[in-house]
Each structure stands twice: as structure tokens, then as C-alpha cells.
Amino acid sequence: MKYQRGVSLSGLLIVSFIIVVVFVFGMKVVPAVIEYYTIVKNIKAVANSSDSATTVADVRKSFDRRAEVDDIKSISSADLDVSKDRNRIVISFEYEKRIRLGGPVSLLIDFQGSSAAKEKGE
């Protein structure tokens, strides 16, 4: 006797539903993650282009210009913490992003980053 192989209709529907839910979830989360990496890229560029004589106001203006070009809405230059470490400008930030998934359900992601490069051994 030969047995049929394959997926039943109910199994196909369940797997399809799971794939659609994961796809929709990804479509809502991926833009926030892309924006986070854009912010990190911009603060590293601002920190690397700054010298020891650069003021905090200059750093904030530079970030505002880059944020306007890259359409960054989650944070502004006022949310940046600017400090000096060994004659280098270090820019750090921290913010929360709430993503509505549907109905009363939402996802809260805490983003934080810094322009300071991680050194080996830390």
C-alpha cells in the first residue's frame, strides 16, 4: 500500500498564517531598526569629523543637518549626550520606540548607542 505524502490543507493554512504574522511583524519592526543604525552611523560620522575645539552646539547642528537629510524622526539633537573622552568627542543617545502591532498590543524597544568604538577586551 502506498502512503500519500505532503501537507494537509489545515497544515498549509496554519503554516501560511504563521508566515504572514511573522512577515507583518517584520514589516513593522525593520524600519525602526534601520533608523537606529542610521542614527548610529550619523553620530559616528559627526564624532569623527569633530576635533577637540568643536563645541556642543556645533555637534548638535551637524547632527541636525544629517538627521534632516536621512529623515530621522525618533530623536533630535537635544536628545544627544555629548562628552569628551581622551580629547575625543563622544556622542551617545538613548530612546524608546513603541510599535503598535494591532489592537491593544504594542512592542516597546529600548535603543541606545554611542560613537565610542568598542575596544577588544572590554
Kindly tell me the sign of the dihedral angle through the C-alpha atoms of 20, 22, 25, 26.
negative
Confidence at residue 120, expressed as pLDDT on a 0 to 100 scale: 43
The closest alpha carbon to 28, from 95, 96, 100, belongs to: 100
Determine, yes or no, domain membership for 12.
Answer: no
Confidence at residue 114, expressed as pLDDT on a 0 to 100 scale: 92
Structural contact between residues 104 and 120, judged by C-beta atoms closer than 8 angstroms: no
How many domains does the chain contain in total? 1
Determine, yes or no, domain membership for 47.
Answer: yes
Determine, yes or no, domain membership for 68.
Answer: yes
The closest alpha carbon to 112, from 40, 6, 45, 9, belongs to: 40
Determine, yes or no, domain membership for 5.
Answer: no
Cβ-based neighbours of 22, under 8 Å, separated by 6 or more: none
Q: Which structural domain range is residue 95 located in?
A: 33-114
Confidence at residue 85, expressed as pLDDT on a 0 to 100 scale: 82
Determine, yes or no, domain membership for 3.
Answer: no
Structural contact between residues 92 and 75, judged by C-beta atoms closer than 8 angstroms: no
Determine, yes or no, domain membership for 17.
Answer: no
Say if residue 84's pLDDT is above 90. Answer: no
Q: What pTM does this model have?
A: 0.81
Determine, yes or no, domain membership for 1.
Answer: no
Determine, yes or no, domain membership for 58.
Answer: yes
